[in-house]
Amino acid sequence: MTNNRESFGGRFAVLVALVGSAVGLGNLWRFPYLVGRNGGAAFILIYIVIALLICLPMMLSEGIIGRRAGANVFRSFKKLAPGSGWWLIGIGTIITTSLIISFYSVVGGWIIYFLVKSATLQLSGDATANGGIFTSLISSPIEPLVYTAIFLFATGGIISMGVKSGIEKVSKILMPLLFVCTVIIAVESLMLPGSSKGVEFLFKPDFSKVTAETVFQALGQAFFSMSLGCGIIITYSSYIKKNEHIVTTSFITSCMDTLFALIAGLAIMPAVFAFGQEPAQGPGLLFVILPDIFTKIPGGEVIAILFFIVVFVAAVTSSISLLEIDVAFLSEEFGWSRAKSATISSSIIFIFSVLCSLSMGPLKDFTIAGKTIFDLFDYVTANILMTVCSLGCVLFAGWKLKREDIIDELTNAGKLKISPATVSFFIFSIRYIAPAAIIIIAIFSLFA
């Protein structure tokens, strides 16, 4: 294992990388819809409380594990709990992220395709036609694979350049670009006649829509959106210097993630309502409804390009963080260069991506437990693997790490002040509240 590990240059670098991982398709294609359907501002309030009381402590516990150990996911557990079997959680996160990236890259490929289509003005002003473009793309055998490969190997290429000159540099450029483009689109969208109905959909508080299910949905979304339970925060935190403030960093990351989700809502929903469309989520929203709307807005060609840049950036910075788990593991444990580790891991993942992509077309009748390969990967990672790994991480931080070590990390070895009440709340949350929340989400999503 190599000792001279790289680290992020400074606080801004850490933040853009973490926010880059957190801000992804979940913020764009799911959060706005969930908010609107579940009571607007009432949902947002619940979401924020959950993010602060449950998800932030979880993020911090992954942060503590990573920074304390200063190693890849597997080695982190080995170092902090020698002679025990906790390292299996590390291996679990490697498997989880590899499976996630295999279908995430397929969607990344679709995004590149739509970016090319919008840049060459080939989107049509007709939802049925755009629906046709999308369906014929995903069901064709070869074309999506080409774009998937571009997405995956570009991710690998960025990672090969290193933590500082690859991940950090790219995130520093792309994340501000993402925010600027999204704000421009939100302003345009809000200026459309009839957009206020979209704002109402997002923000009008309606507590009558709040049920137990709403709370579980908020929990699940916050969890997914902050990239918890996949070892990402452990890996990125292992590159955080000892003098950075991990409490502040985690707090700002979760705030930025939520803020971005809200701005994304303002970019999408007002336009959807201005054109009398039904609010929607998922690929149908991104690849069918929105392209149709863009062609109807004055200057919409430019907005379409900006929008697909936003989606691409959101996806690629998330996939970088996913692949980094494998690369950190392979390069540190086998002594391979980052480039070799990235090439080998991307190539293996690509085989799974091919299966995922084909399961939308030629292999669509091949199902396991009633699910296509793509859906199966999505289901198994979201409902089983992420649950097990995140439970493992918080239980490890809450019950296995020593209280003094936790305080040592939270205060940078005593240099920062933190009240004993905050520490006690944090430990209480990761010992009891967070594990209970994870189990509840798991049961809810298995039976939903």
Per CB under 6 A, residues contacting ligand TRP are 21-22, 24-27, 224-225, 227, 230, 232, 318, 321-322
CA distance 264 to 34: 13
N- to C-terminal Cα distance for the chain?
A: 44
Closest approach of ligand TRP to the CB of residue 28, in Å: 8
User: Cβ closer to ligand TRP: 272 or 316?
Assistant: 316
Q: Which residues contact 133 (CB under 8 A, 6 or more apart)?
A: 117, 123, 124, 287, 291
Shortest distance in whole angstroms from residue 210 CB to ligand TRP: 23
The CB-of-319 to ligand TRP minimum distance in angstroms stands at 7
- The nearest distance, CB 282 to ligand TRP, in angstroms, is 12
* ∠ CA 42-225-143, rounded to 5°: 125
Cβ nearer to ligand TRP, comparing 178 with 427: 178
Cite the DSSP H helix spans in 238-337.
Answer: 246-274, 282-284, 290-294, 300-334
Give whichever of 21 and 331 is closer to ligand TRP, judged by the CB atom.
Answer: 21
Smallest gap, in angstroms, from Cβ of residue 419 to ligand TRP?
Answer: 30
Specify the 3-state DSSP secondary structure of 190: helix
User: 80 vs 315, which CB is nearer to ligand TRP?
Assistant: 315
Cβ within 8 Å of residue 416, ≥6 positions away? 245, 247, 410
Least distance to ligand TRP from the beta carbon of 189, Å? 20
Query: Least distance in Å: CB of 11 to ligand TRP?
Result: 21
User: How far apart are the C-alpha atoms of 429 and 426, rounded to whole Å?
Assistant: 5
Q: Are residues 271 and 195 in contact, defined by beta-carbon separation less than 8 angstroms?
A: yes
Residue 25 or 304 with smaller CB distance to ligand TRP: 25
Minimal CB distance residue for ligand TRP: 24
**Residue 420 backbone class (left: φ over 0; alpha: ψ -120 to 50; beta: rest):** alpha
- Spatial distance between the Cα atoms of 440 and 444, rounded to a whole number of angstroms: 6
Nearer to ligand TRP, 269 or 410 (CB): 269
Instruction: Say how far apart CA 41 and CA 23 lie, in whole Å.
Output: 20
Among 145, 98, 377, 360, residue whose Cα is nearest residue 368: 377
CA–CA separation, 14 and 184 (whole Å):
25
Whole-number Å distance between alpha carbons of 232 and 240: 13
Taking the complex as a whole, the smallest distance from the CB of residue 386 to ligand TRP amounts, in Å, to 7
